[in-house]
Chain A
Amino acid sequence: MSHGVKVRVWGELALFSRPEMKVERCSYDVMTPSAARGILEAIYWHPGLRWVIDKIHVRKPIRFTSVRRNEVKSKVLASNVLQVMNGGDKPLYISSKEEIVQRAAILLREVEYVIEAHFEMTEQANGSDNPGKFKDIIMRRLRKGECYHMPYLGCREFPANFALWEDEKIDTAYPGEVKDLGYMLYDFDYSNPEEIQPMFFRAELRDGVLDIRDCEVVR
């Protein structure tokens, strides 16, 4: 795959929320393909290209920790809005008294991954765009540590350090092991903006590698 890249990402904490446990957030055991895509897009993205994640290598043992924080709960009902709308120009804030709840989050700690991915050209590419150009840009950014915004491991408060992975071989924390991780979020299907659909896949960590090529995606 000539358009492929290998990116090492690491950080102190990570939170790849399970959709079924998103109120009190609990992380998946490993990074999801959509989170990996988000990291690559934070480094480089263009309407003319689409990132496809091939493999995620898990280089550090899976460990958890938890943090409870004061968070803002939710938005107010639309019916209340109408009432307030007639109230005119008043001071504006989120109400901490009513809107704040304490929520725990189960985080991953000390994570390190190597993301193997490639990009495909899309119809929105300009005439002057070509895979070689995109590849050059992404390689330069990875080598120099340039990014559009700092990538993160699931949530913005857990920044992801990144660097190009240049070795041929990628060692993982689980050689010789097979771990069934159950169903995991693959990504969202944005093809209909009115109805964005989640997609899932059966995740299996084989020798510490999550192989997402040719996996069956369920909706």
Chain B
Amino acid sequence: MGEAIKNRYEFVVLFDVENGNPNGDPDAGNLPRIDPESGYGIVTDVCLKRKIRNYVETVKEDAEGYKIYIKEDVPLNRSDNTAYEYLNTNEKDVKELKKKDPDVDRKIRDFMCKNFFDIRTFGAVMTTFVKAALNCGQVRGPVQLGFARSIDPIISQEVTITRVAITTEKDAENKSTEMGRKNIVPYALYRAEGYISANLARKVTGFSEEDLELLWDAIINMFEIDHSAARGKMAVRELIVFRHSKELGDCPAYKLFDAIEVKKREDVLYPRQYKDYSVTIHEDQVPDSVEISRKI
């Protein structure tokens, strides 16, 4: 595995949805998430992280060092277990071990970071290690994502559908079709913003340049392997990356984000396609030492 990254990064992702539901709101009967005051659409950070994890899992197929911790079907502690196995110990002996080896918590943490891409990237809470005052409980990953928000207020449209196959025998006697509902956003462009701390990469998780490339790949392709009846047509349209010249960064993140202006074109009343928006990068607002790249 390569060396940890040495530069701070910020990034902006623009993705759109056509006739689909990018992120359902469990509080609102799976309607697309919406900010109730302003009508802007929301996609949560965890929703996007899930897609990144899924992409990496699909591409790497659990290759050495690219395992994914948070997926389906197997209890969490089995993973913690390999760390214990690796150290040739178990939970009960940990206290004893701690006396002999004061660095044991750091070793467990490093083991988890080395093996799991998502822990290296986003961090993890490994509470099960907290016992016996082991202190690798919480790992903060270098990559931090905020909620994505739509550029313009969205409307969600309810589409009623029917199906001819009836679920139960009893219902089949009385009716020949069943009704269902789908909630879709006809079109929306979303903007997500992210941060990568080189310090956390270097001091904690060892997130490397290769990992970074994989992360960009994952972001660009995160919807390509996530097609489903609910999602409609989703695609990442822009991934704009700011690379600072230093580990600590060259300028405040908000200045970089402000330099990217995404606007609905003036003659467009109802945006229905990506072409209805214009994306401008005001390079004059970005210090020379910060390198801007458009990854798509």
Contact = CB atoms under 8 A, between A and B. Distances in A.
Interface of A: 12-13, 65-72, 75-76, 78, 80-82, 84-85, 87, 89-99, 102, 104, 109, 141, 144-150, 152, 156-159, 161-163, 193-194
B80 A145 contact: no
B68 A76 contact: no
Given A146-B246, A161-B253, A95 B128 contact: no
B81 A85 contact: yes
B74 A81 contact: no
Contact of B72 (A96, A109, A147, A163): A96
A193 B193 CA distance: 36
Nearest to A73: B76
A75 B127 contact: yes
Nearest to A84: B78
A206 B42 CA distance: 34
Interface residues of B, number: 58
Nearest to A63: B37
Contact of A78 (B35, B91, B142, B193): B91
Given A93-B69, A157-B44, 19 more contacts: A70-B26, A75-B77, A75-B128, A76-B76, A78-B128, A82-B90, A84-B75, A91-B74, A92-B69, A92-B74, A93-B70, A94-B75, A95-B75, A149-B200, A152-B144, A156-B144, A157-B147, A158-B147, A161-B254
A169 to B, nearest CB: 23
A149 B140 contact: yes
B197 A162 contact: no
A98 B78 CA distance: 14
A11 to B, nearest CB: 9
Contacts of A65: 35-37
Contacts of B193: 159
A102 B27 CA distance: 9
A94 B146 contact: no
B45 interface: yes
A194 B147 CA distance: 36
B71 interface: yes
A80 B74 contact: no
Interface in B246-263: 246, 248-255
A65 B34 CA distance: 11
B95 to A, nearest CB: 12
A102 B25 CA distance: 10
Interface of A: prevailing SS: mixed
Interface of B: 25-27, 33, 35-37, 42, 44-46, 62, 67-82, 84-85, 90-91, 127-128, 131, 133, 135, 140, 142, 144-147, 149, 193, 195, 197, 199-200, 246, 248-255
A162 B62 CA distance: 39
Given A92-B74, A93-B79, A150 B46 contact: no
B25 to A, nearest CB: 7
A27 B42 CA distance: 20
Contact of A94 (B37, B76, B144, B248): B76
Report, nearest first, the 7 A-B pairs whose CB atoms are least far apart. A145-B252, A149-B197, A92-B79, A146-B248, A93-B71, A150-B195, A68-B27
A95 B73 contact: yes
B251 A145 contact: yes
A90 B74 contact: yes
A83 to B, nearest CB: 10
Contact of B44 (A66, A67, A94): A67
A150 to B, nearest CB: 4
A141 B195 contact: no
Contacts of B37: 65, 109
